[in-house]
Structure 1
Amino acid sequence: MALQYFTYPFKTMGISQSYTGSYSHEKYSTGNRKDYPIDEAGSDTGRDYMYAPVDLVVEKIYGRGSSRQPNTVWLQTKNKVITPIGVCYVCGRATHMSDADIRNLKVGHVFKAGAKMFREYVDGGATGNHIHMTWGTGKYKSPGWKANNKGAYVLITTGSNKKPEQIFFRDKAFTKKVRSTQGLDFKTKPSKKTMYVSTGKSRLNVRKSYSTTSAVVGKLKNGTKVTVYCTRGNWCCIGANMWVHKKYLKAK
């Protein structure tokens, strides 16, 4: 099964508030238990679609039909995906879409990669059309969120919450326009590369993460063919929880 890259889910990047935003997000990103939400307002003041960057499963729907509770949908990748920090499951939640856009949506529904999911809106009293979204590694964990010490309901997963620039690549062929980043720096979606281990007679340590202090999870013989999915500094991701130093790889 080919691994999918987790890419930014709007055709125009128009972030109106980052996770450090003093308007409403500081209580999420600075509390005891935190996540890192952004508000995406798309190309203008209208209602842009949010697209599925990979195959996503609907895990929970909240607020539909209520005027007081903001519509929220929890989404989890169907399989492990490629992110800037490695290969993993990703889970997140999106908020403020309209009742009409999720009227027939059901838990268990799979949005295929590239599918339109729902549009920005103001459900729950938002000021201006946008999608509030936050993401983390791992799988959905019931009930999907939990209040921190500042009263913000932050995402909970089987993994850990991550900043959006750690989760999303920007696919320039899809997200062609950047209107506002609010200072966030997203890596461009890379291309997979075929490389070969070059260590002479010794074996190459494969580590769980991108550090020489990370646990060794395997060893590769000289000449072994590997696929490099993404890089982080001097480290190359060759699979789920599998990193090697780039100086020991070469093209053939």
Structure 2
Amino acid sequence: MKSKKASIYRMVTPDHACPYGLKAKDLLKRWGYQVEDHHLTTRGHTDTFKAQHGVATTPQIFIAGQRVGGHDDLRKFLGKSVADPTATSYRPVVALFAMMALTALAASYAATGSALTVRAAEWFISFSMVVLALLKLQNIETFSTMFLNYDLLGRRWVPYSYIYPFAEGLAGLLMVAGALTWLSVPIALFIGTVGAVSVFKAVYIDKRELKCACVGGSSNVPLGFISLTENLMMMAMAVWMALAAVGLRAGVIHAM
């Protein structure tokens, strides 16, 4: 069988190697192509190449003498999917909760020798709160703007949209430590209740289609079940910690 051959023209300079060029070259090799790798070593060289071929970007891939296009065009040519950066997706939230669940199990095993403990469940929620707060704080202005689309308290008092991620992070950290329950419980219960009511009204009563600010303002996670779950988890954790504070939790565990 004759080997499949492809040519790729990509920008490679002393201070820059095009990442899409690297991806395209790797993809071609994994699909069994012999790759002729042509480097565009200066900005002028790159601009000349683009003008000659009437293209706006590099890399450019050629197969059997025909131009396929750039990295995304190559993926389509090979029958692979191309990610849509504007498409809604639950992937960020699923990944976050999965990693926090595994982290909680690991922490429980390190602390007690057993992964499946009540403390692991507590840590899962409190770790999730901390990381969710961190994601919001990466760009608090963008988060605030998205949050004000649906939060009932934030729309009445804008500073709340800036306070929220700090409050969520503080409550989560205190719950991880099991400290200052008198402070963490009311914070989590308050922001969780307001958030749950806000999401329920926006999604299930007003039927609005919005993006969720739960994993930061730049996400494409749709507002709905996931957002409601985040707030219900905070409320449940607050109640659980309150039971511990008054000495009733042992009885609940025994009853379960």
| TM-score (ref. length: structure 2) | 0.22
Looking at both structures, which has the greater relative contact order when contacts are Cα pairs under 8 Å and sequence separation is at least 6? Answer: 1
Higher relative strand content:
1
| Larger-gyration structure (1/2) | 2
Higher relative helix content:
2
| TM-score (ref. length: structure 1) | 0.22
